[in-house]
Amino acid sequence: MRGIILAAGKGSRLNGTAGDKPKCLVEVGGITLLERQIRVLKQSGLTDVVVVVGCQSDRVRAAAGPSITCVENSRFAETNSLYSLWTARALLYEGFVVLNCDVLFHPALLDHLLATHHDAALLMAYREREQEYGDEEMKVKVSRGFVVDMSKTMEPGEADGENLGIVKFGPASAPELVGILDRIVSDGGLRDWAPRAFREFARTRPLRAIATRGYPWIEIDFPEDYARAVNQVLPAIEGTALTRMRRVS
């Protein structure tokens, strides 16, 4: 199974937080988001890592390092995450975990996703009491533990939670997902988000929803997200990891 990191975008909504760098090279705690995700994938046993590059591709390739396979989305400015995943389709058939490059998350979340016996599974944060959703969240509807719908345009009241941007498709599921990507791209869906393909998969095949179990995470889209990532989420991740190490020792 491979780890696929979607890192082709620029991240213009960060409004200068990234400086002149693409979003995946934003630093949190002195380490870029890209490098953090590569480390977490390898620590979880996924040593075969693929990064889909686009904006400032040479810079991103250099940050990824020589041991990482890079696939280029040369049309990154006119496409979206679904097309980026599709560019790596030849490497998906044996099974993969795909991550959006802008997610900072506790490593235990990936471990839980990989540990499930379900061939296809998605990490999601279930709605907390009184939690409100807007246009930005990739909202998820679940029935009996499986995803039945997912979109940003879903009525907020219908959502059971939101997608983290980390999804697994094993060898039994990956070929069908590739077929869905092929069809959407052929039909002109170049600017669709990757979750459109996940939603279509879930209409005919089981896609298990895996809860975050309270572990910290954040998707970094805006300057206020970055501030929260640095000041709250990273300390929570590091504090939880330290507590677990002490318990083990």
Asked if 125 and 212 count as a contact pair (C-beta separation under 8 A), the reply is yes
DSSP characters over 126-166 = EPPTT----SSS-EEEEETTEEEEEESSS-GGG-SEEEEEE
Q: Is the pLDDT of residue 231 over 70?
A: yes
3-state secondary structure of 8: coil
- Quick one: average pLDDT of 176-196? 97
Q: What mean pLDDT, rounded, does the chain reach?
A: 93
3-state secondary structure of 217: strand
Asked if 105 and 164 count as a contact pair (C-beta separation under 8 A), the reply is yes
Phi then psi for 190, rounded to 5 degrees? -70, -25
Residue with tokens 């807007």, as numbered in its chain: 134
Which residues, 6+ apart, have CB-to-CB distance to 160 below 8 Å? Answer: 124, 126, 127, 140, 141, 142, 209
* Annotated domain spans of the chain: 2-248
Q: Is the pLDDT of residue 247 over 70?
A: no
**Res 18: pLDDT:** 66
| Rounded-to-integer distance, Cα 56 and Cα 54, Å | 6
**Res 13: pLDDT:** 83
Q: Is the pLDDT of residue 28 over 60?
A: yes
* 211 vs 241, higher pLDDT: 211
**Res 16: pLDDT:** 67
Q: What is the pLDDT of residues 42-61, one digit of tens each?
A: 999 999 999 999 999 999 99
**Res 131: pLDDT:** 82
At residue 242 the predicted structure's pLDDT band, cuts being 50, 70 and 90, is very low
**Res 130: pLDDT:** 75
**Res 49: pLDDT:** 98
145 φ/ψ sector (left φ>0, alpha ψ -120 to 50, else beta): left
DSSP 232: I
Q: Is the pLDDT of residue 248 over 60?
A: no
- What is the helix (H) or strand (E) element at residue 7, kind and residue range? strand 2-7
Name the fold adopted by 2-248: Spore Coat Polysaccharide Biosynthesis Protein SpsA; Chain A (3.90.550)
Percent above pLDDT 70 for the chain? 95
Q: What is the dihedral of CA 189, 13, 198, 51, to 10 degrees?
A: 90
| Rounded-to-integer distance, Cα 247 and Cα 249, Å | 6
Q: What is the pLDDT of residues 132-160, one digit of tens each?
A: 888 889 999 999 999 999 999 999 989 99
At residue 171 the predicted structure's pLDDT band, cuts being 50, 70 and 90, is very high
**Res 68: pLDDT:** 97
Q: Is the pLDDT of residue 128 over 90?
A: no
